[in-house]
Amino acid sequence: MEQSFKDKFITKLEEKYGPWNKSTSKFGATSFGVISQDLSISASQFSKLIYGTATEGMYQRSIENINRLLLRESIRQELTVTLAEKEELEKALYKKEQQLTANRRKLLLYLIAALCTGALIAYMLLPRLTKREELIVAGNHPLDIYFDQDFNANFNSPYLDIAEVQDFCPCSAYEGEWVLSNQYKLPLPGSRRPGLYYLAKSADVRMKCSRYDTTGMGQGSVLSAYEYLINEIWLDTKMTPLSPTYFNQEALSFTQEFEELQFEGNPQFKKVATIHSFFTDKFEIYPDSIVRKGEPCGRYASDVDQELAAKYEIDIKYILKNVLGNMTTTRCSSTANPFCDPNDLKEKESTILFDCIYTINNENLGIGGGYPYQKGYLLKKQNYADNLICACER
């Protein structure tokens, strides 16, 4: 990516909002979050644009969007001036109305009305200029453009064709969009000091039937999934030791105090960074159980509080590679299949829950064993929801 695109983008932002204050993550008095909403892009896309990792197309579209915002502001100012001029002209007309003929008064009023109407119409139509940008802005999931384009768009969906759904039952019922059913938190032992935690915020998952992979039960028994996760790293500024306050070493379980612990809004805890991860998953569907096998495809950190990380000696790169990297050895048990009859799957109701334990090779707490947690997926949008005829045989 040429540096000139990033520089031009920063220049445009400063023209619209004011100088970039890196210490407060603001342009003028406007935060990054408000600006990303103005540009109709996600926070992660804005971070890419700011730090020079976006594509040329993303820079060009965002610069055009800022230009439109500047144009809209200019028209709004012109409209304000026009309305003010109208008021002054009306006052002048009132004073001179005895001196003007009826035809001259009529002509002046028509001219004023035309000016105001033209400016008002231009102002009202301006939002349409950004319509195309709003349509092409990608969502959070990296594969949105492959899975979720409009029905009439020129693209080939990875989901099964309607003529295939009965042949690939039951996995055809699972195809679609799934999300994290509940947030969960975990300690991050392995860093230099206690008090570091991992908060799983969201998972945006696309599941599709595998046409070629089977479990030995024939086609329709394996799902391929693509999982985009957004998580956060939080710091306990009091650096409270994990045990015994939050973890019972004898029972190898978290305490009730840990279960009730809230990071956001708690002045004792500070967010250090946002973590973006991408996984590929394989779900094997048996009549009585479901097995998940996940593999990471990379992760990166954004919104890093560098001052906080330096003060508490937190090495984000080390955590990404050696601490979170070790979490990939997480062991998740198979779970009972509550949808032996695939027709029981319902949008915004059906959940698949997995009980998991993770260990970190270089944890420095001496606890051993593992840390239990539960990860669940909620069906948000089903690709095919009509009747499926495969039998439920246990």
Residue 87 sits in the same domain as residue 213: no
Q: Give, as one character, the DSSP assignment of residue 20.
A: E
pLDDT at 130: 40
What Å distances lie between residue 42 and 33, 45, 131, 243, 304, CA to CA?
9, 5, 17, 38, 17
Residue 212 sits in the same domain as residue 271: yes
- Determine contact, residues 42/32, Cβ cutoff 8 Å: no
Residue 266 sits in the same domain as residue 210: yes
Residue 343 sits in the same domain as residue 270: yes
Residue 159 sits in the same domain as residue 306: yes
Question: Using one digit for the tens of pLDDT, what is the confidence trace for 245-258?
Answer: 998 888 888 899 99
**Which spans in 192-300 are helix H?**
256-259
pLDDT at 250: 83
Which of 136, 168, 202 terminates a domain? The answer is: 136
Domain count, the chain: 2
Low pLDDT (below 50) residues in the chain: 1, 123, 125-139, 328, 364
pLDDT at 126: 46
Residue 250 sits in the same domain as residue 309: yes
pLDDT at 278: 92
Is residue 392 included in any domain, yes or no? no
pLDDT at 364: 47
pLDDT at 111: 62
Query: Is beta strand 247-248 parallel, antiparallel or unpaired with respect to 253-254?
Result: antiparallel
Dist. CA 350–CA 273, nearest whole Å:
32
pLDDT at 115: 61
Nearest alpha carbon to residue 133 among 67, 88, 49: 67
Question: Using one digit for the tens of pLDDT, what is the confidence trace for 60-118?
Answer: 888 888 888 888 888 888 888 777 777 777 777 667 666 656 666 666 666 666 665 66
Is residue 185 included in any domain, yes or no? yes
Q: ∠ CA(213), CA(171), CA(226), 5° rounding? A: 70
Nearest alpha carbon to residue 314 among 364, 272, 253, 370: 272
Residue 73 sits in the same domain as residue 165: no
Q: Domain range spanning residue 278? A: 155-382
Residue 281 sits in the same domain as residue 314: yes
pLDDT at 135: 31
pLDDT at 129: 37
Residue 250 sits in the same domain as residue 283: yes
**Residue 17: which residues within 8 A CB-CB, separation 6 or more?**
27, 28, 29, 30, 35
Residue 97 sits in the same domain as residue 180: no
What Å distances lie between residue 236 and 253, 254, 373, CA to CA?
20, 17, 20
pLDDT at 120: 54
Question: Beta-strand (E) ranges in 215-363?
Answer: 222-236, 247-248, 253-254, 269-285, 289-302, 331-332, 335-336, 351-358
**Residue 162: which residues within 8 A CB-CB, separation 6 or more?**
384
Is residue 78 included in any domain, yes or no? yes
**Residue 138: which residues within 8 A CB-CB, separation 6 or more?**
45, 144, 145
pLDDT at 133: 37
